[in-house]
Amino acid sequence: MKQILYIMAILLTIIIAMIVLFFRHDEINEFQIAIRLLAAFFLLVFGIYGLYAELLFKKLRMSGKTNNLCVEASYLIQKRGILSKALLFPFLKIKSSNSLIISFFGALAWVVIALIIFHRFFKS
């Protein structure tokens, strides 16, 4: 059931991005475009993190490691290297075995990072 939610979030991202970029571009101002694209970015990261968390937890359950899924997932991500640590940091910091919690707070963290970058480099 959760996988359907994550796939729907990714599809909704594509729909929002298409509407913002192709159809109603002249009717809205730049701030509204930025807000809608940040919402689409949130949904995209939410969907991708959720699908990855479900896949990772499924892999851990199949290997028989069901005691502490968040610690095992953190260990697997740390073994993969620096890029994996940077992109998948919510799995390292959020101590939960629920993919909804990890994907929500991971997406929220990336939106905050994007806002900081936009504020830093695109001051108006």
Per-residue pLDDT reduced to its tens digit, 18-65: 888 787 666 778 778 888 889 999 999 999 989 988 888 888 788 877
Domain housing 68: 2-121
Domains held by the chain: number: 1
**Residue at 89: amino acid letter:** F
Q: Is 64 left (phi over 0), alpha (psi -120 to 50) or beta?
A: left
Residues contacting residue 107 through CB under 8 Å, at least 6 positions apart: 42, 43, 45, 46, 49
pTM: 0.83
103 closest CA partner among 67, 55, 59: 55
